[in-house]
Chain A
């Protein structure tokens, strides 16, 4: 299933709703384009809603890390919301669960930016 991405604003925070697979090719490219586009628009407080993402490969993991680093480098933050079990387990396995701020509730995730 191809990745789809839409985004909406919650105050200063942008919530990106993703659905599909974040894998080598179009999925990773779309995630990169979405995050870079938000940064260009000076939207640096980003929540990635992964509720409908049930598959990420190493390329997708790399793109998540790349986006996280790009946002941090511009003084912002990128946080994750609603991990599916497979994505949760994958982030734990790769020790990235401790790198990202992960939330199970959207309003809490949005408020966490202060």
Chain B
């Protein structure tokens, strides 16, 4: 794991490079949970952020990098005055969101996979997948920071927000 930390006046940036291995999923989750807690997110939002990071890194580990140890997973966090932005970049072939099956469709309900993208979309305020600098997929997702002084145990957005399209 390699990490860099860069603090601009109003944006904090942290990025790490993770090995393509199962342990990276837990490591990424733990790191992002600490950042989210420090940023003031309440317990419920931290759960949603942690889960989303898990799912993003699982996606990169399994689907993007095909579990190949010679490939890396690039995780970056930006804390702006408004939101926490998370980037998960793999070194795979990339994918298009529209091609991801809807896990809520009747025919997919008993599928044993394919719910990660759906969970990230449900748990975060913003979610997108773009072509990354490696040529792989870059997941970009964000959650609005809690209002200063709010006793946030339960943030806005999240489970009540139905994803706009299946994934």
List residues of A whose CB falls within 8 A of some B CB: 23-25, 57-59, 61-63, 65-66, 68-69, 86, 89, 93-96, 99
Contact = CB atoms under 8 A, between A and B. Distances in A.
Contact of A93 (B110, B111, B112, B122): B122
Contacts of A58: 55, 58, 113, 115-116, 119
A96 B109 contact: yes
B31 interface: no
What range describes how many residues of B lie at the interface? 20 to 34
Contacts of A25: 22, 25-26
Given A58-B119, A68-B110, A99-B109, 17 more contacts: A23-B26, A23-B54, A25-B22, A25-B26, A57-B119, A58-B58, A59-B58, A62-B111, A63-B112, A65-B111, A69-B110, A93-B159, A94-B103, A94-B115, A94-B118, A95-B104, A95-B109
Interface of B: 22, 25-26, 47, 51, 54-55, 58, 103-104, 109-113, 115-116, 118-119, 122, 159
A99 B26 CA distance: 29
Nearest to A62: B112
Given A59-B58, A93-B159, A94-B118, A24 B22 contact: yes
A99 B159 CA distance: 19
A94 B111 CA distance: 11
Given A24-B58, A93-B122, A62 B115 contact: yes
B22 to A, nearest CB: 4
A99 B112 CA distance: 13
A58 to B, nearest CB: 4
Given A24-B58, A57-B55, A65 B47 contact: no
Contacts of B47: 86
B51 A99 contact: no
Contact of A65 (B58, B110, B116, B159): B110
Most B CB contacts (10 A, CB to CB) among A59, A62, A94 go to A59
Given A57-B55, A58-B58, A59-B58, A65 B104 contact: no
Given A57-B55, A59-B58, A65 B118 contact: no
Contacts of B110: 65, 68-69, 99
28 contacts: A24-B25, A24-B54, A24-B58, A25-B22, A25-B25, A57-B51, A57-B55, A58-B58, A58-B115, A58-B116, A58-B119, A62-B112, A62-B113, A62-B115, A65-B110, A65-B111, A65-B112, A68-B110, A69-B110, A86-B47, A93-B119, A93-B122, A94-B115, A94-B118, A94-B119, A95-B109, A96-B109, A99-B109
